[in-house]
Amino acid sequence: MMRIIDITSAWIYCSLSIIVISDAFYDARWITISTVGLVVIYIIMQFRKIPIQQKLFGSMLLVTGFLVAIESGNFQEILIEGIVRSSIFLLLFFSIAWLQIPVNRSSSLAVVRDKIANQPPGRRFLGLSIGIHILGAILNVAAVGLLSPLLKDRRDAVLHRRLCLATMHGFTSASAWSPFYIGMIVVLLSIPTLTWSKIAIPGIAMASVMIFGGWLFDRLCYSGKRSNISEKLVWGRTQTGVFETIFILTLLISSVILTLNIAKVSIPVALGLICPPFGIIWYAIQRKSYRNTDKSVVYIVNQVIKGFANLRNETLMFVAANVFGLALASIIPIKDMSNLISLVIPWMDLRIIFITFIFLFLGVIGLHPIIVVVTLSVIFPHDIIGLRDWILALVYLGCWGLATMVSPYSGTTLFMSRFTGIPSHTIGWQWSFYSVCFTAVLMDVFIIILRHATL
């Protein structure tokens, strides 16, 4: 019975994603109704299998949002808009899923992985952070799966911890500029005046500062602790795969950018159009290149679609966060917020620091960054906060990555926990906390300097 439910749910999620893509080209009432109905049915069917922590927290947000929406008198509008908003985020997970199998089977990416992993001590942390940053910026979570051999349990506990932190700092900092990250999608939708081209260059600069912060903290805290430097991280390969990897990643991101310019659609829709055929063709080329790859192209389609049933946690949390944020905004007098902010936090630089503190504090207690961004952007639009849209976006994007490192329930720490065998709360609260705080200080200094330099 559970197998039938999972298969049905997976096809519902797939159908939902196709309908969301259709919405970019056809403005029809049935699309909105179908989107809302499919999301509700999917959550109901998968609710029993959602982990207890996410289930309780998501339910609490939904119930609170429902009650507030009823009080405001706009229950139906808030519910529909919250679900429709969340569906565009769910499309990103649909898109990235098509890349995971060809990424894990790619010999050229495996060569690059080995080159990144086997950097000598002294430049290993920085090399790993930069490597996972570049791969993750385009391949998203598929890049973390590619590097999973580095993250397995090791005899040297210090080395194990440093490798994990290097991977997390490199991966999460890409949220500052990559269009393939859910954080970027959320921020672009939350700040309507902002475009990706406007934030990409300063985002790359901030990501460099964040990677440097992680590396500097590692040097300050661990340089005197000897690790087992003779340990081979992964077995190196003799083939050359760097140029093939550059070609594949360039082709992927070029295809997405070309689609954005030609079709004039949002980033999630462009990814939804490009990633499925790209992943299937990539897998088909792999199958022709290697005789031991005997599974047909139908295999990748079946595996990807089956995996959509596992996106239950993300679906519940994104819907709950959007409904909760919109409901709060419906009863809070936004016009009065400007005077309140000016009275409580009169200095712009202090507002940057305060937002960072709020993000990290809520991340530590387990709130997903989407809840913070959606709620803040609805209740406190950038013109009320007083910061220019791209400056506020930098704060949101940088904090998004850092907050996922300290949250025990974020996708980042849960992925790391799965690959390392270390509990997610240990990774978030013990391993990452001080490194994240140190990096956050450098990030805020960078943003404040940049704000004054561009006035």
pLDDT tens per residue across span 256-300: 889 988 888 888 899 999 999 999 998 888 876 655 556 788 888
pLDDT tens by residue, 124-163 = 788 889 988 988 888 877 777 777 666 765 566 777 788 8
Domain boundaries, the chain: 2-226+239-453
pLDDT (average), residues 400-409 = 88
Tell me the C-alpha distance between 372 and 199, whole Å. Answer: 20
Is the pLDDT at 215 greater than 80? The verdict is: yes
- Spatial contact of 22 and 31, defined as CB atoms under 8 Å apart: yes
Q: Are 368 and 61 in contact (CB under 8 A)?
A: no
Residue with tokens 């088909």: 284
The stretch 190-217 carries a mean pLDDT of: 92
Alpha-helical runs (H) found in 73-181: 75-105, 107-117, 124-139, 141-146, 148-151, 157-173
pLDDT-above-70 percentage for the chain: 90
Q: Is the pLDDT of residue 229 over 50?
A: no
Burial class (CB in 10 A: 0-12, 13-18, 19+), 197: exposed
Cβ pair 300, 101 in contact under 8 A:
yes
Give the three-state DSSP class for 313. helix
